[in-house]
Amino acid sequence: MIGAGHWCGKPRPIKGLAGISGLFRGLLMRQLVAGNWKMNGLSADLAELEALKGGVGEAACDVLVCPPATLIARATWAVKGAFALGGQDCHAEISGAFTGEVSAEMLKDAGASAVIVGHSERRQYSGETDAIVASKAKAAWRAGLKAIICIGETEAQRQGGEANMVCQGQLAGSVPADATADNTAIAYEPVWAIGTGRTPTSDDIAAMHLHIRRSLVEHLGPAAMGMLILYGGSVKPSNAAEILALPDVGGALVGGASLKAKDFLAIIAACAK
């Protein structure tokens, strides 16, 4: 489970990273598998969290589930600390005349320990800019939540050879300068792979994660070496082991496959393989 003040436990080597620069120590912390339920889930679906609680045991990774905000408080009672709970978004302000919004403090009060910010669906459908995402990350920290900051390129940007540039730009604009491995994780989700059943090749994922690591160190300095970089985009039981074994993949942000305990448990189990 995600404990107070840290995401992870004992570091392990990152293949192919040590020696690139004096800044790179070649360490990756305990992996994190996070489930994003998106706009899915009613009271009856708490049964899936109870099933997850019954099966998660001594997982080889940290586990986080982000259900709809309407379920977080009840989910806290259902899971009884077996794994962590988080929000899917938050407003940058503490409170105020922002009808329909949820503050980071409200999520914390409901039982969340983390929040996703900057998901591509928020960027696309709600027009969120890098600056807005950065302000939400700061709001998460203010409330005592950890932030999972999402980045990723569209299919057109990848085909145009712009994927690295786009992701580096999103990191520079969305990740505040005081981000640390204790308060932030990055989730790389190629937009064209989310919910489509398509995934990049293993080589493409590894190359992008290495590029993100380099970009983070340029942006934040050596402290970025311990920051988790999750992969997201059609992660499922059939491909989880291969993805989670790749260099510098610090875990997974899982969408549809997190809605069913059986599928999510299979992905969690892949961390040990």
pLDDT digits (tens, 9 = 90+) for 165-196: 999 999 999 999 999 999 999 999 999 888 78
Residue 52 pLDDT greater than 70, yes or no: yes
Q: Residue 16: what pLDDT? A: 43
Domains, the chain, ordered by start: 13-261 (3.20.20.70)
Residue 11 pLDDT greater than 60, yes or no: no
Choose, from 119, 153, 209, 211, the residue flagged as catalytic: 119
Instruction: Give the whole-number percent of the chain exceeding pLDDT 70.
Output: 89
189 catalytic? Reply is yes
119 catalytic? Reply is yes
pLDDT tens-digit readout, 91-137: 999 999 999 999 999 999 999 999 999 999 999 999 999 999 999 99
Q: What are phi and psi of 241, to 5 degrees?
A: -60, -45
Residue 3 pLDDT greater than 50, yes or no: no
Token pair recorded at residue 76: 């806290």
- Looking at per-residue pLDDT, the higher value among 3 and 250 belongs to 250
Residue 6 pLDDT greater than 60, yes or no: no
Choose, from 105, 121, 189, 209, the residue flagged as catalytic: 189
pTM of the model: 0.91
Q: Residue 194: what pLDDT? A: 81
Residue 9 pLDDT greater than 60, yes or no: no
